[in-house]
Amino acid sequence: MPLKNLRSESRPCLSLVLAFIVLTLSVSLPFVKSALSHDQKSFLWKIQSGRGTVYLLGSIHLLKKNVYPLNETIENTYESSDTLVVEANINEIEKLDLTKLTGRAFYQGDDHIEKHVSPETYRSIKKESETLGLPVELIRMQKPWFLALGLQAMELVKLGYDPQYGVDFHFLAKARGKKRILELESVEEQINLLSGFSEREQELFLLYTLKNLRSMDSQVEALVRAWASGDTEAIESVVTESALQDRAIAPIFGKLFDERNLKMCSRIESYLNSTGSYFVIIGAGHLVGKRGIIELIKGKGYVAEQL
């Protein structure tokens, strides 16, 4: 595939690197409007140390335009903060080395996905590509992890969702030229994570995606209601249900959530040990549960107050 085509076609997929699994659920906007009342808590926490302050916001990475304006508590907290911190600065995607990305995302020469997945998996891939009207030549070239993200992206676009209206993009746009912007990770790190999955893990990730594409829209109300009202138990339920659907994918969830939570928590603690205030945006699924960032930071002796 020519690099000029890769640039345009890969952008929605790369945005979905930040969303991963549970956060690729769709958003029911009529429900969101009724949920964003001002007397409810936000999916936002305040954590203080003797030196620094961190405001930790759980994010939905893909939304629709009419979700805005966000809760005033969230917007006012952002305005009062010195620094914006995101998982990865999606605005930096254009700086990626596309030659390197091509090698990670696409098979080269006469290699293709049929040689790396089971016949049953390939039949499922072909069936989905026919449903979406995708040329089989494009499908065959993609490695399973990248194809999984691409299929998610296309389904979300079909449902009307756009990373441009995600919480991360919203605050990145506001912060440009006005606030310092830091990353907990980077887009390249996240690509390295997914492309570093074993062939079996990549196939399982793809099978999980194929299995859940049609249910994206049906699961969304629970996710958005929980996020909009700051309901951590409900978000945890969504995450847990997703993880338990297929035990084989549990190790992948461990890499996507648990291992990254530990690293991000360590970075957050470094902000608490410095001066100033940090508005930190992380996918909502990373904050909940016993291995979530909120519990991890509490385990280090800090108090996390939900706003």
Tell me the domain boundaries of the chain. 3-306
Phi and psi torsions of 276, nearest 5°: 100, 180
- State pTM to two decimals: 0.85
The dihedral through the CA atoms of 157, 159, 164, 166 has a sign that is: negative
pLDDT at position 33 is 39
Nearest-angstrom CA–CA distance, 252 and 242: 12
Q: Of 221, 228, 291, 282, whose CA–CA distance to 47 is shortest?
A: 282
Residues 6+ apart with CB under 8 A from 47: 53, 54, 55, 56, 268, 272, 297, 302, 303, 304, 305
Average pLDDT, the chain: 82
Mean pLDDT of 289-307: 95
- The 10s digit of each residue's pLDDT in 200-238 is 999 999 998 898 887 777 666 667 778 878 888 888 887
Q: Specify whether the CB–CB gap between 56 and 296 falls below 8 A.
A: no
Residue 183: enclosing H or E segment and its boundaries? strand 180-183
CA dihedral (31, 228, 185, 243) positive or negative? negative
pLDDT at 115 over 80: yes
Residues 6+ apart with CB under 8 A from 108: none
The span from the CA of 282 to the CA of 293, in Å, is: 9
Q: What is the pLDDT of residue 34?
A: 37
